[in-house]
Amino acid sequence: MAIMQIKKYPEEILRKKTDEITKINGDILKLAKDMLETMYFFSGVGLAANQVGISKSIFVSDIKPEGKKNPIIVINPRITSSKGGVYSEEGCLSLPGIAAEVKRSKTIRLLGLNTAGKEIDLEVEGLLARIFQHEIDHLNGNVFIDRINPLKRWRLKREYFKKK
């Protein structure tokens, strides 16, 4: 396993929709393990493949990165339904030092595949729903600041680029 380099905004790969995974093989399994190790190393709770420079539709997450690990790996994820709306602060490993209140669905239903190629059908809420939506946004070429009003986005970008 290896720690991978996190791609930082505004790198081009973060703005492109990732490719669907058509075959789950050793390379995909290694990618998932490396992504988990990278996410834990950087104290994240989610990581999409394009954040480490790989244009594949896979993300990893774990809402207990400091305690007992409970990793979730989803291949070719898609949200099939959502309910409610709630604002909460979000940050991102690809935009270090930046955070903003983002509105997300409170509850979502997610379909995808696990690393054995079996279908996953999950209904999640709260933090896990927020993480899944954030990572799926990445896989679709979006970052969390795309979901805030233009003036606030401009201010955050300005702050972000001053820090770089």
Active site residues: 135
Q: Write the secondary structure of the chain as one string of H (helix), E (strand) and C (coil).
A: CCCCCCCCCCCHHHHCCCECCCCCCHHHHHHHHHHHHHHHHCCCCEEEHHHHCCCECEEEECCCCCCCCCCEEEEEEEEEEEECCEEEEEECCCCCCCEEEEEECCEEEEEEECCCCCEEEEEEEHHHHHHHHHHHHHHCCCCHHHHCCHHHHHHHHHHHHHHC
